Amino acid sequence: MKLKNVENKQRKNPVVTVKQGKLKGAVKKCLDGSPYYSFKGIRYGQPPVGELKFKAPLPVKPWEGIRDAIEHGPVCPQYNLDFIDFVEGSDDCLSLNVYTKSLQPSSKIPVMVYIHGGAFLTGSGNAETFGPEYFLQHDIIVVTMNYRLEALGFLCLDTPEVPGNAGMKDQVLALRWVKENITMFGGDSDNITIFGESGGAASVTFHMLSPMSQGLFNKSIAQSGSCLSCWAIAHKPVERAFRSAKALGMITKDVNELLEYLRSVPAHELTRLAFKTRTQDEKLRGLTMYCTPTIEKKFEGQEQFLTEDPIDLLLAGKVSNVPLLIGHNSAEGIFMVNDHIKRLEIFNKDPSYMVPRDLAITVSKEKLDEFGQRIKQFYFGGKDVTKDDTQAIADFQTDLNFMYQIHRFLHLFQSTAPVFLYNFDYETDLNVVKNVIGLDNVKGACHADDLFYLFHSKKSWKIVEDNDRLKKIVYQITKFWADFAKTGNPTPTKGGIEWRPYTSATKEYLLLSQDMKLSNNLNKERVEFWDKMYADAGKPCIAVSSL
């Protein structure tokens, strides 16, 4: 009887011993009512405050006794784009969450580590948005994380004190913690998949290139993002750091004085600097994403996350040789349509502002103007755009910010491991972002719509709960992802659809929609349009990989 009471107590208050100490979690219920173990707010790094502010994180120190892992840790201070409001959070935000159905080290359950998106300036790994229940039904361990955002995570001064990429190094430290400890949660430390969406997908592809991340994961899933997008990598970050101080009321030309001042600024006041530090050109060109990963200078005695241009690393084959599942939503750009319409007068008068930054900063004014006219002709028939051209605007913004650079990464990715490409085109009540925006006349799935098919949340579950058709769709998509995490193949068993690997010869992809099917040459004409533009600008492009 006593032994049974001990077992019941353990189920109510599960305790796990990791390398750093003991953690007490909680028991939650899966969709079928069976139990799973939840460990939230696990600290993986020391508080990056004071002298550690803006620096690479340090591993958490061991502790005595039992730490509660019941509630989420603080989120990073941020300006929440969904609620258009500040979230104070805390700069002491380096925590992660683990969800598992077994605590037996012998279980060796495949592990999926999710890196949240949010433009590197907003978001968290909290279960309110990224609940694990859909994946747990496939016997997967799910890990989510918080990391430093905006200036706290991506300030760069090109100095040994602040070389940049602190937020990416947070992610690396979290992955190291998972590699070291996940066995105690029933996980297989030799079968870890990293996956992310938007900025999280860019992060995933950065980890595939970074020497700091090698050996920490075995497979990758990149949804709606790539490290090749101009929004994913910082442009003149030191100049932005000085503009940040000026925006906060302090003018200096001394980098040491700058650092001392920024360290003194409360963490929540360092939010929204991406907006406050825009140049005139940036106000008219591209997404407002500027506090992002950067190419670091090398300093003796330090680990660098990224010291070469991602394109150069890809061309040199300096990339993780792991299976990759990559793709995008069919109408990512829906969320940019209304913003584009607000700037119609500018774009119609000077189409060169539709040219992406990475091309705009390298070509002549004459070539820039020519590129702008090409875009206007290809997407809008050479005519001035009106507020009724929503489908064409959505297609343009999709290709500009997401589609082409995902294909470009895919084509330049030199690996012997299998690659699987998808196009997410479901249109149901679960397309929460699209439905909120209200552009029903635009065909396709909007940016971030796929997340509601992958993660359980109170808001989305109300839509799914009594809808058997949506339940089947959610189950199928999460099964693709989970089977890929388990085996490196999203369709390892016979009997259903076979998702065949992408090759440069066949260019096959899976259309994820009500009419699911295998096809090839996704967005062929649109890819070729951008490829010619990059080739004409003297940039490495898709054609390079097929020579």
Number of CB atoms found within 10 A of residue 383's CB: 11
User: Residue 250's CB: how many other CB atoms inside 10 A?
Assistant: 16
Q: Is 289 helix (H, G, I), strand (E, B) or coil?
A: coil
User: Residue 504: how many CB atoms within 10 A of its CB?
Assistant: 11
Catalytic residue chosen out of the listed positions 198, 210, 213, 330: 198
**Residue 266, both tokens:** 């409360």
Which residue is catalytic, options 268, 340, 447, 456?
Answer: 447
- Indicate which residue of 197, 282, 296, 332 is catalytic: 332
Residue 523 tokens read as 């967005």
Task: Kindly give, in sequence order, each residue whose CB lies less than 8 Å from that of residue 472, ignoring residues fewer than 6 positions away.
Answer: none
∠ Cα 163 404 229 (to 5°)? 15
Query: Degrees (nearest 5) of the Cα angle 449, 288, 247?
Result: 140
H helices of 362-514, in order, are: 365-380, 390-398, 404-412, 432-437, 451-454, 458-464, 468-487
**Number of Cβ within a 10 Å radius of residue 51:** 9
CA-to-CA dists, residue 436 to 18, 335, 342, 343, angstroms: 42, 10, 18, 21
Tokens of 193: 């998949």
Burial of 141 (0-12, 13-18, 19+ CB in 10 A): buried
DSSP E strand boundaries for 52-162: 66-68, 78-80, 85-87, 95-100, 109-115, 141-145
Nearest of 175, 227, 219 to residue 201 by alpha carbon: 227
DSSP notation for 109-139: EEEEEEE--STTTS----TTTSBSHHHHTTS
* 260 given a catalytic annotation: no
Strand partners, 186: none
- Three-state secondary structure call for residue 314: helix
Three-class SS of residue 310?
helix
Does residue 447 carry a catalytic annotation? yes
Which residues are catalytic, by number? 198, 332, 447
